Every structure is written in C-alpha cells, then in structure tokens.
C-alpha cells in the first residue's frame, strides 16, 4: 500500500487532478464511483478565502463519500496561505495540498501557482507555514520548472520534503509549456529514484488510456498517477486502468446505459449542490464528453443544452438509453 501519513491508499493509486471549474463535488462523485482513489477540490484562492468570497468558501465543501479528499490552495502571500490552511482544516478534509503548478496568467502573474518555481526560498517558506498551520498531511503539486533552462523540481522535491510535505505530484511540463507538447516524466523518475526521497511520488501528464498508465508505471516507477483531462466525461478511465494493471487485459468501453447513468448521477449531484439554475447551466459543458463517439451524439447534446427544465433533461437521457445508439468513434 501507499501511505500519506495515516491515509492508506492501494498499490499504485489513481488520483483525480484538481481542475478549475471541473473538479467540483458532482464531478468528483462520478469519478469516485469510477474508481478514483484520492481526489482534490478545485484549487482555492487563499486571498478569496480570506475575503470570505462566496465562490471560494463553497469550494471547501467536502463529503464523506469522497474520502480521502484533499483541499488544494494557491496564493502568493506566506502568512495568508498559512491562515487559509487553518481555515481549510476546519472544513474537514483528509489533507491539504498546495498548488505550485498552475500555469495560467491570472495565477502565475500574481506570484502564485507555477510562479513560485522562480522563487524556491519563498516556496519553501510558504510550505513550512502551511505545514505548521494544520495537523493534516500536506502535499504539493508542481511542475518540472519554469522553463527549459530552470528545471529545478529535483531540488524542490528535497527541500519541500525537508519542511514536512508527505507526498509530491509532478506534472511533466514546465510552466512555459502550459499544456503543449508531450509531458516528460524523466525528471519525475529521477525524483522517485533519489535515495533521499522517502515520500510518495505521483506522476501527472498525458495519461489518457489504461495502456499508457501501465507503460508509464513500468517505465518510470512512480508510486501512482494523477489523471485530469482524460477523466472529463469518462470517469471509467480509473476502473479501466485498475483492470489493466491487475489482468493485462483491456475492459470493454462503457455501455450506453452506463454513460447515461453516470451523466444522470453527475446532473443530479449538480442540482443538489448548485441549485436548479446553475446546476442546469453548468452541466452543459459535460454532455459532449459523456456521449462522445455515440451515433447521433450531436443531436442528443443539442437537445440537452436547449432546455432549462431538469425533468425534460432526465427524459432525454431516458430516450438515449432506450435508443441504444451505437458507438461509432
């Protein structure tokens, strides 16, 4: 088993990546059902949390069926991050995660996320402040470095372990790369093979199939992997990876009925957590992914996004199940 202090995870655990405007409780519910072993909230702005911004506060919502669940924080001020770790601990997660990897301008240009890769002393100071502020395990997600000339994640791993983090996830790209090009896992493997490193090391980037997950497991020796975009509208990727790891055989793709069931569950949770208006509106971004590859998918999606009536949406989902469209792509 893999342990993050008192959190016991299975061998080669599968983590759901924290994704802004995606990894909310409804999405996490279907991914947990699909086999995710450890999940994280959307990243939460420390400044927003201190200001008691409603959106930031709502992101603290965690539920027992999600456990183990981590709250992920980002920010640029050391003291504020420490205070936010204390506030987040009160919300009852199983761990606190710090985001040192987000590459988007709105975050990095404010000195948060991946920007801290250009100021390792401040990153270390901030991490130590978060560790001191909570009794929960603290983990970190980061990238290889800021750019090709400053791939400093090996130093980062050692220094953050020294101040108390208990697991590290590394996305195999630099900040400058954003999400372009192929993820390079060689430095992730170097961290895992470093005799000084005693904490679990998880790899992230480009895992979009069971075959690739097992290939990277064997090639790079990481303790587990984090899956992000590949799980959007396809929460079955977790069970497919687990099945392939255990048997060496591929699972059959989800049936039409399974696709509709997962989409329905996601929608029901959205209505419960967000209310009818936001629940209907924000679910629209997911239909194309759930029904991707199905015969007539464009028609079904068009009907689903053209109505604001939850009962009509459920009725359309029932139609899809009854029609049993073929998988064509």
Q: Over the stretch 167-193, which tens digit does the pLDDT of each residue have?
A: 999 999 999 988 898 899 999 999 999
| Those residues with Cβ within 8 angstroms of residue 170's Cβ, 6 or more apart along the chain or in another chain | 141, 142, 143, 144, 153, 157, 187, 188, 191, 201, 202, 203, 204
> What is the rounded average pLDDT of the residues 236-243?
97
CA-to-CA separations, 107 to 222, 298, 326, in angstroms, rounded = 28, 34, 42
* pLDDT band at residue 297 under the 50/70/90 scheme: confident
pTM value surpassing 0.85: yes
Q: H or E segment at 238?
A: helix 237-247
SS3 of 198, please?
A: coil
SS3 of 117, please?
A: helix
| Those residues with Cβ within 8 angstroms of residue 166's Cβ, 6 or more apart along the chain or in another chain | 4, 5, 95, 137, 138, 139, 199, 200
pLDDT of residue 91: 93
Q: From CA 49, how far away is CA 59, in angstroms rounded?
A: 10
* pLDDT band at residue 328 under the 50/70/90 scheme: low
CA-to-CA separations, 105 to 24, 108, 113, 114, 122, in angstroms, rounded = 22, 5, 10, 10, 19
Catalytic residue of the set 31, 102, 109, 263: 102
Residue 32: CA count within 13 A, CB half-sphere: 22
Catalytic residue list contains 102? yes
Q: Radius of gyration (Cα) for the chain, nearest Å? A: 20
> What is the rounded average pLDDT of the residues 55-67?
87
Q: From CA 29, how far away is CA 2, in angstroms rounded?
A: 22
- Looking only at the bridges linking them, the beta strands covering 2-4 and 7-9 are antiparallel
Q: H or E segment at 272?
A: helix 256-274
* pLDDT band at residue 154 under the 50/70/90 scheme: very high
Q: What share of the chain is helix, strand, coil (3-state, %, to 5)?
A: 45, 15, 40
Please state which of the ranges 92-101, 106-115, 214-223 shows the lowest mean pLDDT: 106-115
pLDDT of residue 107: 84
Whether pLDDT at 283 is above 90? yes
* pLDDT band at residue 50 under the 50/70/90 scheme: confident
Question: Hey, what are 78's tokens?
Answer: 């050391």
Nearest CA to 265 out of 33, 64, 38 is that of: 33
Tell me if 185 sits within 8 A of 172, measured CB to CB: yes
């Amino acid at each position: 088993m893999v342990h993050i202090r008192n959190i016991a995870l299975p061998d080669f655990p599968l983590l759901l990546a924290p994704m802004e405007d995606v990894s909310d409780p409804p999405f996490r519910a279907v991914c947990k059902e699909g086999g995710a072993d450890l999940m994280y909230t959307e990243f939460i702005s420390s400044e927003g949390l201190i200001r008691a911004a409603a959106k930031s506060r709502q992101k603290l919502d965690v539920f027992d069926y999600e456990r183990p669940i981590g709250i992920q924080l980002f920010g640029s001020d050391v003291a504020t991050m420490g205070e936010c770790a204390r506030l987040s601990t009160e919300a009852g997660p199983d761990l606190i995660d710090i985001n040192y990897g987000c590459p988007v301008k709105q975050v990095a240009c404010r000195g948060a996320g991946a920007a801290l890769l250009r100021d390792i002393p401040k990153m270390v100071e901030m991490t130590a402040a978060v560790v001191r502020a909570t009794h929960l395990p603290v983990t970190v997600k980061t990238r290889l470095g800021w750019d090709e000339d400053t791939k400093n994640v090996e130093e980062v791993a050692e220094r953050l372990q020294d101040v108390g983090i208990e697991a590290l996830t590394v996305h195999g790209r630099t900040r400058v790369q954003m999400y372009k090009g192929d993820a390079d896992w060689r430095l992730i493997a170097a961290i895992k093979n470093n005799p000084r490193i005693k904490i679990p090391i998880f790899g992230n980037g480009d895992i979009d199939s069971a075959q690739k997950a097992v290939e990277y497991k064997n090639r790079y020796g990481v303790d587990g992997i984090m899956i992000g975009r590949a799980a959007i509208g396809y929460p079955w990727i977790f069970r497919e990876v687990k099945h392939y790891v255990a048997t060496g055989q591929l699972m059959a793709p989800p049936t039409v009925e399974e696709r509709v069931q997962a989409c329905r569950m996601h929608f029901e949770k959205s209505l419960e957590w967000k209310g009818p208006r936001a629940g209907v509106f924000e679910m629209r971004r997911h239909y194309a992914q759930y029904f991707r590859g199905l015969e007539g998918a464009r028609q079904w999606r068009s009907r689903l996004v053209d109505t604001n009536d939850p009962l009509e949406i459920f009725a359309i989902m029932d139609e899809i199940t009854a029609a049993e469209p073929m998988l064509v792509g």
